[in-house]
Structure 1
Amino acid sequence: MGISTSMNAGVSGLNANGNKLSTIADNIANSETYGYKRSDMDFSSMTVSAGGSSGVVGGGRAALAGGVSTNAIWNIAAKGALEGTSNSTDIAVSGRGMLPVTSLASYQANADDLDLMLTTTGSFHTDKDGYLTTSSGIVLLGWPADTEGNILPAARDTTASLEPVKINLSSVSAVPTENINMYANLPATDTGPDGTGTARMMTLEYFDSLGSAQNLTVSYTPTVADPQSNEWTMEIVDEKSGNSVGTYTITFSDATATAGQVASVVQVDGGAGAYTTSYDTSTGQLTMELNGQTIMVAIGSDSGGPQYLSQLSSSFSSKGVTHDGSPAGTYQGVTIDENGFIKASYSSGFSKVLYQVPLADVANLDGLSVLDNQCFAVSAASGSLYLWEPGDGPTGTVEGFALELSTTDIATELTDMIRTQRAYSSNAKIIQTVDEMLQETTNLKR
């Protein structure tokens, strides 16, 4: 009977619009929630089979009200605006991609089975144990770096290589020197007939394995000759011990195309005891072994490679000498760059890569399962997970000092609320009308 289905349709309409109002309420309640993705209610019509055309005049189809059903949807792919903050570990994703996270409580309960979740933003701080977590207990995941700060190759379709980001808050770091670029110009006139044979001196600083600053003294003694020899004897001495590290004869070119460049390097003495050196003609580097510490000193290639030392008709200059490494320093803080590298900074001014945070992507972002705390989980509808380095493939970049705002628009929600209220009232009117009609039918018996 059509009047009965009208009652059912009105009831389903009340239920559907009540559900719609719940999404509106949730959106408005989370309008200031960072990373919140607006939800909506999808309405679908329902039909009721009349069982054929029996009882319908003219053999037409019966008009039976089926009502409406609803299905909640989330626009997870939508991006909220980014808001700048003063916290270096407030993290947001600019563009496509999500940050891998997990529950700190679940990780501590079972570290061998990560309960992977995804989010687009988070206000992370180091807790008492050094984990980078939010106030709701969500911990950031990343690929760990080795002792040299290098991120090792990792599988991209699994979370097996991900670890909770943990910072050693009491760490003291020192990085021994591995490379020195020895820029200097030696006066060409010193190796001519008017040269005095006076040695030119310069000092090279390096840091040992304990972070202590040490010095190497380098002397360049010209070979005075007529015609000009373009030859120098270079000796490197470790000031700490006073021992010679190595002695070399360096000859510079006077040809038009390569004038002033290193032409040849001949080892005279490779050092003694714990001090040894060797020269690579292709790279122009001396390899020094100082009590077990290996340092590469770039002086210039005699085969067309990089040039550092020169001999030109100018004054002696040793400006521009550079080296890596750092002295011992205490932990000061942590930052994250656009490529997802988490770097710890130390009082020495040195920074070191500790982790890289990848960006996770799936084929259908809107198919992810919705969890608490603005987090999501991979589902059959979303497709499988793939981890990208930020900026690679379809993914965007990672932004520190930033949080993503909610995708809720208050004006839109208030407009929808008015429409939903009117629709709810109209469905209530249907039920009231059907009730009155049924009352009239009952009165026919009197």
Structure 2
Amino acid sequence: MLFTNKKNLEEKTKSVMDVFKKKIKIIDEEKLKGEIIDDLVENLQFNKNEEIKKTCEKIIWQVAFQKGIYPASLYSFYQNLAKKKKTNFTIPAINLRGLTYQTSQALIKAAKKNKVGLFIIELAPSEMEYTHQSPEEYAAVILAAAIKQNFSGPLFIQADHFALDRKKYLNNPKLEIKRFKNLISRVIKAGFFNIDLDMSSLVGEGKEDVFTQQKNNFILTAFFTQFIRRQEPKNIEINIGGEVGEIGKKNSTPADLDVFMEGYKKELSRLGVSKGISKIGIQNGVSHGGDVLPGGGMAKSKIDFELLKKLSLMARQKYGLAGAVQHGASTLPLSYFKKFPEFQAIEIHLATDFQNIILDHPAFPSKLQKKIYQWLLQNKKNERKKGWTKAQFIYKIRKMAWGQFKKEITNIDKQAKEKIAKSLEERFNFLFNELKVKNTQKLINNIKN
């Protein structure tokens, strides 16, 4: 239910907790984890009264801290991984575009079942925009899901693909840098203590030499590394990643990594920054969401596992990073996932598969799906690339409908949501097993906020 004002909020929650004391006093744990936490999330997501939204966010944070749930950084953990010759697991980083409260519960439930501590929940700026999820809302909804599932311990919330807008930067660098700094400051305040910087769109692929290609990339990555370090909350060292090649473009090479890292290190030294990135995103034959065929099926992936291993070990052994990050893997054949730990991927980013599970699920309302597709055809036709079939267009662009239909999707039948959540939980169980992160809870118990 939506609260009409703060007094209404207090009236509806007073039998469960006293929310307007300096420290919230929880009276009824079970009722809190029942309808009250659900109501707080609903108001956080859909109440038009900003004061109520902020109050709900504040309550969720305070309850989470009382229950030992807190956002944390993986920086120190990755620093320790960098000292190892080889690693035996790959950490999943999961983007939640819709049904975020339900999906994060399924994720946390699977993590508890498998004693998984090493998982990341992330969102990119583009996703924040088209899913209508602010950083503040996203972080608080994840904390609420953890409360609901009786979770305790650190949660690793990550800002994914944090990039300058290429066109805006080339047109007005000062204005775009200012906008980007404001966004970084905002996500840090919201609890995103892991940030993947992605300046790869500014790599000059047409340039003759690798240094000239990578120059903008390593200079700007160093510049924003310095900015992030200056924004860090007390006692928190944010885990920062970089990216050496743009996903979906040409494959990264050892020369790319060498030039990027050498240039980056010199820039950091010039700026007086001692703590840099701890991981590096590479391109190895994949694309975001996969490549869909004209009939709607998926094209065979051209992923290069040997290149992944070569660059990951090089990053670790030569430059002291934890390893390479695999992007664009969500829609790969399921049999591929057990290969990532073997080929030394330190992290793998997954998004589209979970979107597909939700939108293509037998329990997802067919009328709503049809309505979404009609809206896309009418309102996103400018996104359609030349030669795309209808099936290709729908598959590639349907992510842009999450925000427009956020409330309708959230309000689908309870039983349908439960069936979808069960399928998501099964996929998370599978991924945790294949990526070998089961029983890693003990590895992160000493990470504090």
TM-score, normalising length from structure 2? 0.20
Which structure is higher in helix share? Answer: 2
Name which one, 1 or 2, has greater alpha-carbon Rg: 1
Which structure is higher in strand share? Answer: 1
TM-score, normalising length from structure 1? 0.20
